[in-house]
Copies of this chain bind each other. A is one copy, B any other.
Amino acid sequence: MPEVSGGRRRPGRRPGRRPGAADTRGEILAAARRVFAEKGFDKATIRGIAREAGVDPALVHHYFDSKEGMFVAAMRLPMDPSSVLPLILSGPREEVGERLVRFILTMTADPAAREPLLGLVRTAMVNEQAVGMVREFFTTAVLGRVAEALDVPPLRMEAAFAQLFGVVMTRYILRFEPMASADVEEIVALLGPTMQRYLAG
């Protein structure tokens, strides 16, 4: 499970940190985990994370393009939303539902990609601080972006998310059969039209 709270606090600037320092990136990520847990995703800032890590904001930018990218790295998530969007948007619009299902199922088929994501969900299930952070990240950085790109109303976007979330939970955490061992393409055929209906607005 990703660390979402606690950990050693090291407030204050520590001078002489350079991009080449051995654990600078790791220390920035540890600071990011503490700040995201405390402030949530929306209120966390690169400046605040730099302050928590005791480094210059420019150094944070040296390692991470965006707050989204930093969250993804801090939680060890398998993908940055900004790299997913082009994948989903490329190709015929009438197949976007099918592409989205196939993408999520292919990505989560890899335990190295799946486990940090499931860890984050498990933490959110039992920890109020984590749930706020997860909610803000998903609604702001993931669903909000896809909804905007596809011009889908938020409730439809969340119904689509709920379908995929439920399938991933049923397949990998609850491990219902036959869902747990069904072929990806069988699930794509079953869920594709559902997603298409939600995302077609």
Do the beta carbons of B155 and A161 come within 8 Å of each other? no
**Is residue A110 contacting chain B, with contact meaning CB distance below 8 A?**
no
**Is residue A11 contacting chain B, with contact meaning CB distance below 8 A?**
no
Task: Tell me the nearest residue of chain B to A136, going by C-beta.
Answer: B176
**Is residue A113 contacting chain B, with contact meaning CB distance below 8 A?**
no
Task: Tell me the nearest residue of chain B to A139, going by C-beta.
Answer: B176
Do the beta carbons of B126 and A174 come within 8 Å of each other? no
Q: Which of A121, A125, A191 has the most CB of B within 10 A?
A: A125
**Is residue A159 contacting chain B, with contact meaning CB distance below 8 A?**
yes
Stoichiometry, copies per complex: 2
Q: Once the chains are docked, how many angstroms separate the CA of A164 from the CA of B170?
A: 11
Write out the residue numbers on chain B whose beta carbons fall within 8 Å of the beta carbon of A194: 159, 163, 194, 197
Do the beta carbons of A162 and B166 come within 8 Å of each other? yes
- State how many angstroms separate the Cβ of A194 from the closest Cβ of chain B: 5
**Is residue A169 contacting chain B, with contact meaning CB distance below 8 A?**
yes
Write out the residue numbers on chain B whose beta carbons fall within 8 Å of the beta carbon of A165: 166, 169-170
Q: Once the chains are docked, how many angstroms separate the CA of A187 from the CA of B198?
A: 12
Q: Once the chains are docked, how many angstroms separate the CA of A197 from the CA of B97?
A: 16
Do the beta carbons of B159 and A178 come within 8 Å of each other? no
Write out the residue numbers on chain B whose beta carbons fall within 8 Å of the beta carbon of A121: 125
Q: Once the chains are docked, how many angstroms separate the CA of A164 from the CA of B162?
A: 8
Using a CB–CB cutoff of 8 Å, the interface residues on chain A facing chain B are 121-122, 124-126, 131, 134-135, 138-139, 143, 154-156, 158-159, 161-167, 169-170, 173-179, 182, 186-187, 190-191, 193-194, 197-198
Q: Write 9 A-B pairs (CB below 8 A) sorted by A numbering.
A: A138-B176, A156-B190, A158-B176, A159-B167, A159-B191, A161-B166, A162-B179, A166-B166, A166-B169
Q: Beyond the given A125-B125, A154-B178, A159-B191, could you list 4 further A-B residue pairs with CB under 8 A, ordered by the A residue number? A: A131-B173, A135-B174, A155-B182, A165-B169
- Closest 8 pairs between A and B when the two form their complex, measured CB to CB: A166-B166, A162-B166, A158-B179, A165-B166, A162-B167, A162-B170, A125-B125, A163-B163
